[in-house]
Amino acid sequence: MAVFYIVVQQIVNGLILGSFYSLIALGYSMVYGIIKLLNFAHGDIYMVGAFVGYGALGILGSRLGVGWLGIAVALLISMFLVGLLGMLVHRVAYQPLINKRAPRMSLLITAVGVSFTLFNGVMVLTNGEYKTFNTSLGYDGISIGLINITYTQIIMVVATAILMLTLYWFINRTLYGKAMRAIALDQDACRLMGINVTKTISLTFFVGSALAAAAGVMAGVYYGSIQFYMGFVIGLKAFTAAVIGGIGSIPGAMLGGLVLGLLETAGTQLPFIGSAWKDVFSFGILILLLVFKPTGILGKSEIERM
């Protein structure tokens, strides 16, 4: 019976961790699906989102409190401001290269440069210090035997599900979402049809960055602290999640994040692995998956025309 409680508790922990991975992986997949760019600055966008949420909560806390209302408003502010940052990065760093039809390697190197700019900029602004999210959420929740599920965990999983479903509806039901899917297939044809390709790509960066910011704020609230290098490892893992699910696929990014989160928490309970080897276990699973299914779980093979 004790094993059953451990399994259920780890599933809950895996869903929380996987929800963070999924929200960040969505940004990777959306950008890659449209302009075939591996935006390695996306992990640092997540980190900036956490700090913007921290600052917003600090300002609003005296009026709205540091409970769910204050956190929700801080999260929305962070999503909006960091979404604008994503658009700015696209317009300043990526769009000039896209207009000149620069090689993909140039775009990749630029993404690395943007990553270091954000990373070092936040490090200087915060003096490299940890920042603590002061909230009044507590640890109340539901206890079933040895299983403890806090209300914070429940709300975060529900909030992540709402964000994912909203994105899925936006991509499949709205005019802008349909434009994004059309651009992913053929940019030149979209221009001939009167679609503003640059504006649509900027909107893609806004949406992807906003989702990463939401993940950053939720991670800060959940773990209680943030730091300037928090985006590096989770950015790599979210990219891994996007690859597992099938990079370029929105449902694949969602699924890949949850799968990676569950695998990572499961790895901590296996003999001779534990928390010290959980990353090795997770990336080992990635290698095996790509050996047997290179396109990922929901990815499709593409024929590149010369």
- Dump pLDDT digits (tens) for 76-109: 999 999 999 999 999 999 999 988 888 888 999 9
In a domain, residue 104? The reply is: yes
At 116 the pLDDT is 94
Residue 227 lies in a domain: yes
Domain count within the chain: 1
Nearest alpha carbon to residue 43 among 268, 275, 278, 240: 240
Residue 128 falls inside a structural domain: yes
Residue whose C-alpha is closest to residue 233's, from 119, 129, 142: 119
Domain of 56, in residue numbers: 2-134+148-292
Mean pLDDT, residues 269-290: 75
- Residue 143 inside a domain? The answer is no
Q: What is the mean pLDDT of the chain?
A: 88
Q: What's at 297, amino acid-wise?
A: I
Indicate whether 32 belongs to any domain. yes
pLDDT tens column, 171-215: 999 999 999 999 988 888 999 988 999 999 999 999 999 999 999
Nearest-angstrom CA–CA distance, 2 and 255: 29
Confidence of residue 304 (pLDDT cuts 50, 70, 90): very low
pLDDT tens digits, 43-64: 999 999 999 999 999 998 888 8
Residue 78 within a domain = yes
Identify the CATH number of the domain in which residue 217 sits: 1.10.3470
Report how far apart, in Å, the C-alpha atoms of 127 and of each of 119, 188, 216, 224, 228 are: 12, 46, 19, 19, 9
What is the mean predicted confidence (pLDDT) over 117-130? Answer: 93
Is 302 part of any domain? no
**Encoded amino acid at 61, one letter:** G
Residues above pLDDT 70, as percent of the chain: 95
- 301 within a domain of the structure (yes/no): no
Contact in structure between 213 and 49 (CB atoms under 8 Å):
yes
Name which of 197-211, 229-243, 282-296 the model is least confident about: 282-296
The pLDDT value recorded for residue 37 is 87
Residue 234 CA to residue 25 CA, distance in Å, equals 10
Which pLDDT score is estimated for 66?
83
